[in-house]
Amino acid sequence: MIVTELPPIKPPNISAPAADVGAHLSELQVTIIERRHDWHLAKVRELWRYRELLFVLAWRDIAVRYKQTVLGAAWAIIQPVTMMVIFSLTFGRVAEMDAGGIPYPLFAFAGLLPWFFFSNAITAASQSVIGNQSLVTKVYFPRLLIPLSSIGPFILDLLIGLVLLLIMMAWYGVMPGLNVLWIPLILFGLAAAALGVGALLAALTVAYRDFRYVVPYLVQLWMFATPSIYMNATQIVGPRGAAILPLNPAYGLIANFRSAFLGRPLDMQALTVSMSVAVFTLVLGYLYFRRVERSFADII
């Protein structure tokens, strides 16, 4: 919907002759409300206009996440640390999985940290519109701000986890190389893919509530299609399967995230393919979300 906003116009003097009043009214501009095409891209100016609301929603989610908790910010690292210990005992010692000469606890944590950011962001974004139904039905604002703000707490979790990762690297004597400069781009790709998938699932969840139960299950399965706990995909899926794994946006981004931090060479082919898929996923999720968002208040 496109609304043309006009500045306030001084009303005509009702004591003036009728001819003068009629002439004044004929000069008034009219606000025209037009139907926007289903796949029309939202204006960046509109999102920028509501940037303060975005920060308020993100801060609200962060405050709710850590309010009245005993461990506080420690919850940001409990999940990846717990999984690191489990996988270190099973794959690191029992299965003796190859980690390229890197201590397996460090290898696993460097892969699990971005994975939990990605998976938690998708899960939260997919449930965000349903969780804010009272807000959606009462006031207008760009609905895309809801899944976008839901990623905020997990960005904070990721930053806290990066501090622990650096401490572990210093403990094991592993130093990053110049490839660490790729980290901002890789994190942008992960956030873009998570937002794209999350926005798409958020729109689908409004119409089909089954997705509320399907998404967590699918995300758990998704982890085993990413190199968060293994390095050589050929050992698991074979050479043909390894060739198509970068079509999973989390695959090339998480693998290169770990390589960039641990001083290993990057897989530029996997990074390029996964980054392209991440951008495509963001555009697809964004377009579909914008297409159906005007019906949220009616069916939510």
Over residues 195-209, the pLDDT tens digits come to: 999 999 998 888 887
Q: What proportion of the chain, given as a percentage, has pLDDT over 70?
A: 76
Q: Give residue 224's identity as a one-letter amino acid code.
A: F
Residue with tokens 């009629």: 22
Angle at 207 (CA atoms; ends 205, 210), nearest 5 degrees: 50
pLDDT of 29: 56
Residue with the larger pLDDT of the pair 162 and 177? 162
* Cα distance between residue 58 and residue 37, in whole Å: 30
CA distances from residue 276 to 247, 264, 293 in whole angstroms, order as listed: 9, 22, 26
Closest CA relative to residue 195, chosen from 256, 291, 120: 120
CA distances from residue 288 to 39, 46, 204, 247 in whole angstroms, order as listed: 8, 18, 9, 20
pTM summary value:
0.79
- The 3-state secondary structure of 34-89, one letter per residue: ECCCCCCCCCHHHHHHCHHHHHHHHHHHHHHHHCCCCCHHHHHHHHHHHHHHHHHH
What does the block give as tokens for 46? Answer: 């509109």
> What are the residue ranges spanned by the domains of the chain?
42-299
Over residues 89-148, the pLDDT tens digits come to: 877 665 566 666 788 888 889 989 999 999 999 999 988 888 888 787 787 778 888 898
